Structure 1
Amino acid sequence: MSRPSRAEMLACLATGIALLALIWSSSRESAAPLASQTKDSPPRELAATAASLLTLSEGAAQLVETAAKSVVRVDVTLDARLVQSNELETYFGRLPQETIGSGIVLDTDLVLTNYHVVRLSDSITVSGQGAPRRPATLLGFDPLTDLAVLKVANLTLPALKWGDSDEVSSGHLVWAIGSPYGLDQSVSMGVVSSTNRPTLLDSPFQDFLQSDVSINPGNSGGPLIDAQGAVIGINTAIAGDSFAGISFALPSNTAKSVFKQLQQHGEMPRGWLGFQLSNVTRSRAAVAGLDSLQGAYVESLVSEGESPAKQAGILVGDICVSFNGWEVTGPLGLIRQIASTPIDTTVKLRVWRRGQELELDVQVLPRP
């Protein structure tokens, strides 16, 4: 019998859960053995279930086998501080401390990983399936999304394709591939627990996919892939100090846009107006003469130098209700709108101030 094609495997994988549920349901309704079956033969329903599980298992294995070729181990050497209680340090002096992470090949000689893996590096090396350890250089990084791009010369590994994280829903099957505790090419499987989880690092530029995939130190920077073998997230963090069934991955749509900017410019340019925003309260809305609690309250302006907000005449106490025609529902959404606006663009910002709605022209400048 010929081996099923990859397309057939992936199609089965995508529908496997529904099929298994149907088989389980029908097997409960037909639990009594059929007269045509011998005493020693397995029930037909169990045979069908076993066949479906086998096909699902083979599909998952083939999916991981293909994706793992594009997943690399990232080794980072740091200058470690002396630890007085460590006898090895006492007798041998300062020793380098080595950390391990994971990365994804996404273009020729380019690897995406977490910035926290490489941020204090003296040296970086990358290795993968059939690719011996090679030196890497830091091409660009973005602390606000914890992403970094590495340049690795002559890295002959295939690129993994991007998936659409906006199409991900709770319950979807996902796989993580990486090097937890230095165990290269380790695979774990789970489901998406939730999408659009608020930031872990108090940043408006990070929302996360939450899953129950097992993530441990060394997985950081590795891919979270879907049933099509596409990257839908970058494994970044867990809840607590050790894995407890809650893992977080930066969505692929965010990572993809940052990757392109880092690839081209070495940094992620973001728009900036120079004010601090917070939520609208009833008392703040009353002072501004606004009936709604939607909008973004201007809590403060940058204290040093001129800023776009100051130059446009924005004042502390203003409530921003519209940004270039986009309705402002809260501070987080406005910050993201400003950040994604092309630099040097002049936009119209509508604010409420003591019973009046004003429209101000403000120029978006680069985030300092």
Structure 2
Amino acid sequence: MRPIPTLLTLALAAAFGGFTATAINAHLDNRASAATLGTVVPTTAALPAAVAGQAVPSLAPMLEQAMPAVVSVNTKQVVRVRNPYFDDPFFRRLFPQVPQERINESLGSGVIIDAARGYVLTNHHVVENADDVQVTLADGRTVKAEFLGSDRDTDIALIRIPADKLTALPLGNSDQLRVGDFVVAIGNPFGFSQTVTSGIVSAVGRSGIRGLGYQNFIQTDASINPGNSGGALVNLNGQLIGINTASYNPQGSMAGNIGLGLAIPSNLARDVVEQLITKGVVVRGTLGVETQNLTPQIAQGLGLEEARGALVTRVLAGSGAAAAGVKAGDVVTAINGQRVDSAQALHNFEGLSTVGRTVDLEVRRDGKPLQLKATLKEQPRAVVGDTLDPRLTGATFVDLPESLRQAGINGVLVSEVARGSRAAQSGLAGGDVILAASSGAFTDLAGWRASFSQRPPQLVLSILRGGSQRGQLMMR
């Protein structure tokens, strides 16, 4: 397998990782000084002059209500500079002025969604690993924010600010969006505060973008650039219908906007926020199946006219799919009326669903259509190694970040390995990705656990380390 692909096709203009102020890039250095500007950048709304003979009113009255709810989010992270000379006391005594730490800063945007509680919605990648988060309000006040929780796989984070006289944006119903609806993006691109761009909804339910998490994006041609991360996408009624998260540009993030902006739907954000407030974490539902894509040869052998759908290769015992009667060899072609074209599409639907949700499955079995109803159950969040095999004692396993899975990597992630444990003595380390094992086939954490129904005489792991180094470990 080739190394994990670099996300060259993504201009993470509101990019994952935020708008990094310390990047070694002259362009970013220029924008760092621009971040202090308090002026509003004028833009021309992409609206027709008239509709049905009636002049289109200005967006200004709506924006006067909406813009105070959009804030600037500045984060700082203390990063230790890795240099082997710093481990030498003699070197440190000779050069005490050499910094052993540096501070990374990034700039993004956020949206106040609850004025009374001070809740601010932003992107996970804006506040990820931050040691300090400061929020600057539209009126110029700067306050320290409290981190409440986040979900990496949907790129949603919730923070709280202790401030009064706040303005919040009401959440609209993103399910009602149609292609062609006018929308307005509000944020702080390139450090320019309170910038407004306008456009239309170019697509809804956009997915299949490599390197991002669970995907159900609103696509818009409203300009979204670095620093817009976490900002608001609003409709003409001033309702929040999306959280701006990224833009797509094959030429790279600094090539400029080309009208392919992506926003997280407000309904998805609402579900994530509710779980973060009530549970502190996001718990996802799963059918409990392992699937693969169809090839033309497999489709022909199953009596299908086209190679479309998710072929079920294993049904996990005790799962919602097992209770519904799903069998290995079934092909899932639709779920809740939504087309399923691939195994990834089915996995993406599961990842955006909550525990306890009942869904209608359209299945082809032996070439014939079949309707089944299944209830999604909770996904395991982590598995401790000694519950699987004594040779894995000391290791903890979790599902891969969805961004890696979208990039074409399957397996499980070693989240940590206890020092001196049996797993550590065999060479397993935190951060390793286990791609395959002699215990049996698996694609995710649930399959990894199921593969140990019978312990193998020899346990050999195929791992990916550091994003590119492949190898095998014999667990003893």
Decide: shared fold, TM above 0.5: yes
Structure 2 matches for 1:43-58, cutoff 5 A? 56=57
Q: Structure 1's 239 and 20: CA in aligned 2 closer, same or farther, altered over 3 A? A: same
Question: Match of 1:220?
Answer: 229
Q: Which residue, 87, 103, 106 being the options, matches 2:110?
A: 103
Report the alpha carbon displacement of residue 351 of structure 1 after superposing the two structures with TM: 5.6
Deviation at 1:226?
1.7
How big is the shift at 1:283?
A: 2.9
1:316 is displaced (CA, Å) by: 4.8
The structure with the greater share of residues assigned to helix is 1
Cross-structure match for 1:255:
269
Relative to structure 1, the CA distance from residue 249 to residue 199 in structure 2 (aligned partners, 3 Å threshold; closer, same or farther) is farther
- Cα distance in 1 for residues equivalent to 2:189 and 2:198: 14
Higher Cα radius of gyration: 1
| Equivalent in the alignment of 1:17 | 48
Displacement of 1:222: 0.3
* Contact 1:131–1:155, Cα closer than 8 Å, also in 2: no
Deviations 1:70-121 (A, max 9, x none): 111111111235388xxxx984442211111110011131110000111111
Q: 1:125 to 1:17 in 2, by over 3 A?
A: same
User: Does the CA-based 8 Å contact 2:184-2:198 persist in structure 1?
Assistant: yes
Aligned to 1:30: none
Conserved? CA contact 1:237–1:247, under 8 Å:
yes
1:128 is matched with which residue? 137
CA shift at 1:249, angstroms? 1.2
Structure 2 residue corresponding to 1:154, chosen from 150, 153, 163: 163
Shift of the alpha carbon at 1:130? 3.2
Contact in 2 for aligned 1:301/1:309 (Cα 8 Å): no
Q: Matched residues in 1 for 2:297 and 2:190: separation?
A: 52
Separation in structure 2 between the aligned mates of residue 348 and residue 151 of structure 1, nearest angstrom = 38
Gaps of 5+ in 1: 1-13, 24-51
| Matching residue of 1:319 | 331
CA contact (8 A) 1:295 1:321 kept: yes
Q: Are 1:66 and 2:68 matched, yes or no? A: no
Percent sequence identity over matched residues?
A: 34
Change (3 A) 1:278 1:100: same
User: What is the TM-score of this pair, normalised by structure 2?
Assistant: 0.56
2:355 equivalent to 1:343:
yes
Match of 2:279 among 248, 265, 268: 265
SS for the counterpart of 1:121 is coil
Contact 2:283 2:379 survives alignment (8 Å): yes
SS at match of 2:141: strand
**2:366 pairs with 1:367:** no
Tell me which residue corresponds to 2:127.
Answer: 118
1:328, 1:334 within 8 Å by CA — same for their partners in 2? no
Whether the 8 Å CA contact 1:284–1:317 is kept in 2: the answer is: no
Q: Distance in 1 between matches of 2:373 and 2:184?
A: 47
Distance of aligned partners of 1:203 and 1:354 in 2 relative to their CA distance in 1, 3 Å threshold: farther
Deviation at 1:60, TM superposition (A): 1.6
Query: How many positions carry a matched residue from both structures?
Result: 316
Deviation at 1:350, TM superposition (A): 7.6
Select which of 200, 203, 207 maps to 1:194: 203
Q: Does 1:140 align with 2:171?
A: no
Q: Which has the higher contact order (CA 8 A, sep 6+)?
A: 2
- How far apart, CA to CA, are the structure 2 residues paired with 1:209 and 1:222? 14
Contact 1:288 1:318 in 2 (8 A): no
Q: Paired residue for 1:296, among 305, 310, 314?
A: 310
Aligned match of 2:81: 82
Q: 2:285·2:357 contact (CA, 8 Å) conserved in 1?
A: no
Q: Mark the CA change 1:235 to 1:91 in structure 2 (over 3 Å): closer, same or farther.
A: same
Unaligned runs of 5+ in 2: 1-44, 84-95, 381-476
2:337/2:360 contact within 8 Å kept: no
Letter in 2 for 1:183: F
CA contact (8 A) 1:140 1:265 kept: no
Distance of 2:296 and 2:142 partners within structure 1: 59
Q: CA RMSD in A?
A: 3.9
Who is 2:463 aligned against? none
Letter in 2 for 1:364: L
State TM-score, norm by structure 1: 0.70
Deviations 1:184-220 (A, max 9, x none): 2122223333333224345673122222222222110
User: Quick check: 2:179–2:203 contact (8 Å CA) kept in 1?
Assistant: yes
Q: Aligned to 2:143, what secondary structure does the other structure show?
A: strand
Aligned partners of 2:80 and 2:100 also within 8 Å: no
Structure 2: distance between partners of 1:316 and 1:17: 54
In 1, Cα distance between the equivalents of 2:221 and 2:321? Answer: 46
Distance 1:100 1:353 in 2: 51
